[in-house]
Chain A
Amino acid sequence: MRERLLELQVQALAEIEKVDALEELETWRVGYLGKKGELSGVLRTMGTLSVEERPLVGQIANDVRAELETAYQTREKSLQIAAMRKREAKETIDVTLPGRKSWLGAEHPLHKVIRRIEDIFLGFGFTVEEGPEVELDYYNFEALNLPKDHPARDMQDTFYITEEILMRTHTSPMQARMLAERYPATDIRMIVPGRVYRRDDDDATHSHAFMQVEGLVVGHGVRMSDLKGMLLQFAREMFGEDQEVRLRPSFFPFTEPSAELDIRCIYCGGSGCRTCKQTGFIEILGCGMIHPNVLQMQGYDARELSGFAFGMGVERIAMLMYRVEDIRQFYQNDVRLLEQFATLTR
């Protein structure tokens, strides 16, 4: 009987070597290890053995069973793997084909620039205010120290709707509005992004509608050096850590002293190029200390309180940053331009 078991083992192991499909393996398992299989058959004759032999033969039978089960599992595993390989071969695809895409949306460049400016000034503790585009003559001009017939109104050709109502020519009316609304404020830090309108024919550098960001800081003892310091920080956030700024005297009716702010040319870094007309600097905004008349008209004592204001053209900054050469492109909305901003991180 012992021989019979060993023979069975040899025979089964030899057979399993030839099995190469999972179904055949099952047949093999039923044939040798099943309830009615060969091994069970042999064990059923155990009753014929002597009491002494039984444990010995039983031990051998268990060994053989263990051996065959191990062989079964090994074989099963390798056959399963083979079967999966086969399936994978069938399921092989061309991984070089493009992936399924979604459309990529993008923020408009002008709004991208405004958001960036907003974020910088939010970091400086500013609020973001917005005002009407259809504005009163009073706020657009008079409250900004530009009485009717003031020659400086020539600088800004205006779209009037009625004698007293007009399309605002700058975001500055919000200076007067906020001074009035927050009266008697002792601390204002705000920016005002928004659309403005000028009676200009559209060309590569002029647009009848464009966007500005106004800034206003009011407080006790605010100095022109604070203006320069804050705008230097802004320029560094916006245009790069190593930026430098330069102030040049200028004129706005609602600031005194007034200045233009130049930054170092972002193309040539200051060595001189076509964009900066070989000066190494480019003008990005107008600014100045709030004119005492502007404060006084809203009821403030200009001896007590001072402040500064600045205003920048969004299109100009966007044109510089993204090297767009025609201002009209921002309003044409050619998606061949706009979709490029989907992959620009700044």
Chain B
Amino acid sequence: MKITWNWLLDYVDVSDLTPQEVAQKMTNAGIPVEHMEPFVDGVSGVVVGEVVHVEQHPNADRLRICTVDVGAQAHLTIVCGAHNVAASQRVPVALVGAKLPGMEIGKSKLRGVISEGMICSVSELGIDPYLFPKEQTTGIFVLAQDAPVGEDMNVYLGLNDMVMELELTPNRSDCLSLRGVAYEVAALFGRSVRMPNPQLQTLEVTVRDLSVSIETDLCTAYAGQVVEGLQLGSAPMWMQMRLLAVGMRSINNLVDITNYVMFEWGQPLHAFNYEVIDRQQVIVRQAVTGEQIVTLDGQTRTLTEAMIVIADPSKALGLAGVMGGQNSEVTADTTAVVIESALFDPLQTRRTGKTLQLRSEAGLRFEKGPDPTVISAALARAVELMVHYAGGRIAASPVLLGDAFDHMKYKKVVVGTSRVERLLGFSVSARQMLDVCNRLQFGVEVEADHFVVEVPSRRPDITIEEDMIEEFARLIGYEHIPTTMIEGPLTAGHLTKEQYVRRIITDHLIAQGLQEVVTYSLVSLEELSRIGLEPDHEWPQSIPLLHPLSDDHSVLRTTMLPSLLAVAKMNVSYRRLDLRLFEMGKVYWSKQLPLLEQPDERLMLAGLLLGRKHPEHPYDRARAYDFYDAKGITESILARTGIHAPVVFERAATPYFHGGQSADLSIQGVTCGRVGRVHQAVANAYDLPDCYYFELDVRALVEASTNELYVAEIPRFPGVVRDLALVVKHELAVSALLATVKEVAGEELNAMNVFDIYTGDGIEEGDKSVALRLFFQSLSRTLTDDEMETTINRILTHVKSVHGAVLRE
């Protein structure tokens, strides 16, 4: 919402203050003045002049020599290049010595003729031509014929003004009018408000009949009056300039007047051609579904029955509160209009505007619900201005329908005196409260322990006690609220087990050198095909948004892989070829589509490794990451998380992984993640070299995580180490061999490592040698050589019978 300083001063006298002082106080009171700038900056020495005579420049085809009367004794000679200059025009004249934005006017000689000033265009005066009619901006600025010759242009156009842009919160729709802002400013500075007080005029003998009927509940009040004898033309210049300053295009005197009154009172008005109304009957009704109307912008609109139309017995004339119809538009030969000042259902107005994508200043005000008590004042004001500035005459008494006119002008809000202090935390005296009510011009009844505040209808945002308490705080000043600490029971803050485990995992991975990333969860549907999932894949289906802004963010992700691959791709493109990325983020699995209930939001831990395992060093060739690095990190996470249950890695066929380097992992039968080498085709799709990915279901880890709080005893007897190199078939999974060893190794087997896998010389083709280091330990005695001998032999016999494994010679 934009206002101008001078316009505001019409209604509240704060001329002893600077615009900055007022803006500062408004901002601190919750009506932030977001932006403030001079309407036009740096214009001086420009006056209204009359072109007395024009003749062709003898030495230049495009120049004219004008004789201009600027109210001084002598006429000036001014050379002008504009095509539209003509005798008897009133024009802005920059005198010698005048200042215009970016230039200063001096006496100059143009092709041999001395020019004593300059006739100015709109943009030379520093006015944004954007909202001007085109014919006014292609040459010099032609002023109205009644522009007083010699008057300073700053005064005439009101250029010495500040434009203030208010950033209104949705509750303060009262400040969508100068009237509302004036009441606010008056309250802040303890001033009074002086609004015009127009009265509706009745006519004893009706010149032009008008009947109005309301056939829908969606229109609660309608005021209208017929004005005739109108002459369509331009609105007075000061009015055009004010509308321009607040961002409204000047159209003609009639439309400008309705807009001006809307800005003044907050009540949108509509003026439409009286002549086209069939049988002089205006009907406010709901549209018939499928009914069409051509609106003022030339668009044909198809309506639904929820929409409200202004109609006559044979046709719709306009879309109530949204836009007028072309058939009733005010045109050059219009001499009689109906001025409509009405109240339409805010929700329906808003829905209609949204459905038809029509946003207007009027619609904006209707959907917030204007003050019902100003409909007749706004109508009277518009009639008065049309009589004054458009040659109008009242042609009938006003029509007033609906209950708005005998509407209660205020609502009562009861405020407990002690409640104010209980809610705000500081004491506010009855005197202060009374003072605030007076400044707001709210009526008040003071009782022993409460106030009954009469809140006028111009402040629809105040309906309950707390709203009124906010008004007290706001006008006394939030800076008076002290700082205290909450009273009440002392509670210990704590994280949940899951939150702790998540921090442990994050810290662990960072310590391992991994970089945390954060990526969007709204992704493109195409990502799934890029990682090799066919359209008919059996994975959870992506949940689509109803109205995405772009294809790139149109569905909720079901896997983290594409997000990490995209981050890697971007970084690799910057030649960062060694990357270790992880993200703990959500994937969204639907149970059915379209959604009937909220989906499963699963927190996943995903990691991607590519490039070298360590930074390069002159004495250490860094090797590239491989599958076992990814698996090792996964295992270290499980260990860190306190998972003591056995974790099983099984070969798996995941579409986006290498066929031979992919495993699913499970804990006690529950699948909780996967690790693998990213499929060559997928890596290629992201322009990436070999990379390795792991993904863990964080909730499953948290569930498997134990809270053991004791340590095992340190053994007092020496342990025994035995190495065994076993030759087995190449395809035998080492995990199977280890399991077999474990079956018969006895409870003294404390640990078992695979320290070498060998193929080549001495080992037959198709075989491999697996070197195991077994560590035996008893907590109760020293193990003897004989006993170890027996155990090893038992192991060897067993692995031979199960896997055909033999001891390597």
Contacts and interface: CB of A to CB of B under 8 A. Distances in A.
Interface of A: 97-98, 100-108, 110-111, 115, 118, 121-128, 132-136, 149, 151-152, 154-155, 159-162, 165, 167, 187, 189, 195, 197, 199-201, 208-209, 217, 219-226, 228-230, 232-233, 246-251, 253, 256-259, 289, 291-292, 306, 330-336, 338-339, 342
A219 B486 contact: yes
Contacts of A335: 515, 571, 576, 579
B518 A123 contact: no
Given A133-B601, A247-B481, A338 B29 contact: no
B266 to A, nearest CB: 15
A149 B30 CA distance: 24
Contact of A187 (B491, B494, B522, B586): B491
A332 B570 contact: yes
A209 B563 CA distance: 15
A167 B546 CA distance: 11
Interface string B535-563: 00000000111111100010010000000
A18 to B, nearest CB: 42
Interface in B312-355: 346-347, 350-351
Nearest to A209: B520
Contacts of B367: 151
A256 B496 contact: no
Contacts of A334: 570-571, 574
Contacts of B588: 133-134
B617 interface: yes
B496 A128 contact: yes
B548 A155 contact: no
Nearest to A245: B483
A318 to B, nearest CB: 11
Interface of B: 27-30, 32, 169-173, 346-347, 350-351, 367-368, 422-426, 464, 466-467, 469-470, 473-474, 478-479, 481-496, 499, 503, 506, 509-522, 543-549, 553, 556, 567, 570-571, 574, 576, 578-581, 586, 588, 594-595, 597-599, 601, 614-615, 617-620
A296 B518 CA distance: 38
A225 B426 contact: yes
A162 B470 contact: no
B694 to A, nearest CB: 15
B485 A229 contact: yes
Nearest to B564: A333
State the majority secondary structure of interface residues on A: mixed
Given A226-B485, A330-B518, A221 B576 contact: no
B479 A247 contact: yes
Contacts of B487: 221, 226
Contacts of A103: 513-514, 578, 580, 614-615
A336 B492 CA distance: 39
Contact of A333 (B171, B350, B512, B517): B517
Contact of B598 (A136, A250, A253): A136
Contacts of A333: 517-519, 567, 570-571, 581
24 contacts: A101-B614, A108-B516, A111-B518, A118-B495, A134-B595, A134-B598, A149-B350, A151-B368, A159-B548, A167-B545, A189-B486, A195-B586, A219-B486, A221-B422, A223-B425, A229-B485, A230-B485, A257-B474, A258-B470, A259-B478, A331-B518, A332-B570, A336-B574, A336-B576
Contacts of B578: 103
Contacts of A336: 574, 576
Contact of B481 (A115, A225, A258, A338): A225
Contacts of B483: 225, 228-229, 232
A190 to B, nearest CB: 9
Contact of B618 (A97, A111, A162): A97
Question: Which of the listed residues B171, B503, B553, B588 has the most CB atoms from chain A within 10 Å of its own CB?
Answer: B171
B547 A160 contact: yes
Contact of B171 (A122, A152, A165, A332): A152
